Amino acid sequence: MTGTHSTTASHIETTERYAAHNYHPLPVVLAEGDGAWVVDVDGKRYLDCLAGYSALNFGHTNERLVAVAREQLGRLTLTSRAFFNDKLSGFAEALARLTGKDMILPMNSGAEAVETAIKVSRKWGYEVKGVPAGQATIITMEGNFHGRTTTIVSFSDDDVATSGYAPFTTGFRSVKYGDVEAIASAIDETTVAVLFEPIQGEGGVVTPPDGFLTDLRALCTERNVLMVADEIQSGLARSGKTFACDHEGVVPDIYIMGKALGGGIYPVSAIAADHEIMDVITPGSHGSTFGGNPLAAAIGTEVVAMLEEGTFQARSAEIGEQLLAGLTPLVGQGLSDIRVRGAWAGIDIDPALMTGRQMSEALMERGILAKDTHGATVRFAPPLVASDEDIDLLVTSVREILAAAA
């Protein structure tokens, strides 16, 4: 590259000057990507083990998705939902088929999809369940991450996400993640939904106890409460299944999807539910200028087609087996715990050795990009197109960094 922005330092300096400091990035400036690998402005290659928080499940610049996007860019990108467009019909049908639900409601960002699920759940509670007006409550989980809108952070227990943003939206009850008995105790006549992540990604790839999803499904059915699964990060092949709920053969009342639904190319999100739930949405009661636009729908349709082939789910499971085999021996050798579900892993580092940020920085020096969370935890979520050699590089690098720090 040439000009005033030819180096990593100059890009970082300008970004820090003109862009709000709502992130604390690693000091790398990316310029290109292909598959599981990215290249910075100085020409250094990195293995991307974050994959846009699972938005890039299919890899950077995936040929199939780029081709669809390019074709649609030259035809029609936006109409608003004031009119029909010729791509939304196919997307809606395909995503309904993938989820096994009657209908979808398309939005853009994951946070918008969560907000949509909250609104639909409340409206269902009033119009179908018969909860008295203005009294609907939703049960949420401790350690959750569903986005950063005012309503969503209202039920977050992350001080960084909540500090300075009160007053908060009421109507939420937080219980211990994975504790069905606690959920049962929190349900009363005002409860309309239980909102949860089948795997808590931001928390460090935290998985609930075996049987939790099955028991929660039974509880929600028994108590006439909607089971609302936030599969924004865990879904669409990340966990080795199409949805993380599939690991226990459980079908929630509402699926929340985002990130990989847009193939890492364009913001695409949606919820899916059956008529009894979705029919509470009527013209004017909810919407989005860009939700369901032709470009998003074209990309989303191709994403569904790729998922229906099953190869990405299978590859995710293979990556998970490789990660588990490689990381397990490191427990007690610098790691205090690991959690792996498909191509998704969280490692807890012995705080006496280093922080998660320091591990991420050490990996970056070795040409691997990952992200820390909650102090001593680092998450790995490589694109599902990563090779066996790529995963070996990741595991070997973690092992060598730990050994050097011991």
Q: Which residues are marked as active site? A: 145, 230, 259
Burial track 153-182 (b if 16+ CB lie within 10 A, e otherwise): bbbbeeeeebeeeeeeeebbbbbebbbbeb
Type and span of the H or E element at 371? strand 371-373
Residue 356 near residue 349 (C-beta atoms within 8 A): yes
Q: What's the distance, CA 362 to chain centroid?
A: 25
**Cβ neighbours of residue 157 under 8 Å, at least 6 residues apart?**
142, 143, 144, 174
Checking DSSP bridges between strand 103-107 and strand 137-141, what pairing results, if any?
unpaired
Query: Hey, which bits of 108-204 come out as E strands?
Result: 137-141, 172-175, 191-196
Residue 287 near residue 119 (C-beta atoms within 8 A): no
What one-character-per-residue DSSP string does 201-220 give?
A: TTTTSB-PPTTHHHHHHHHH
Cα–Cα separations (whole angstroms), residue 222 to 184, 226, 251: 10, 10, 15
Cα–Cα separations (whole angstroms), residue 162 to 19, 119, 340, 366, 380: 21, 21, 29, 35, 26
Dihedral, CA of residue 200, residue 203, residue 205 and residue 207, to nearest 10: -50
Residue 265 class from Cβ within 10 Å (0-12 exposed, 13-18 middle, 19+ buried)? buried
Cα–Cα separations (whole angstroms), residue 40 to 29, 43, 226, 391: 5, 5, 45, 21
Q: What's the distance, CA 256 to chain centroid?
A: 10
Cα–Cα separations (whole angstroms), residue 196 to 138, 175, 212, 228, 358: 10, 10, 11, 6, 30
Residues in the chain: 406
The owner of tokens 């100085």 is: 42
Edge-to-edge strands, sheet with 226-230 = 103-107, 269-273, 254-257, 226-230, 191-196, 137-141, 172-175
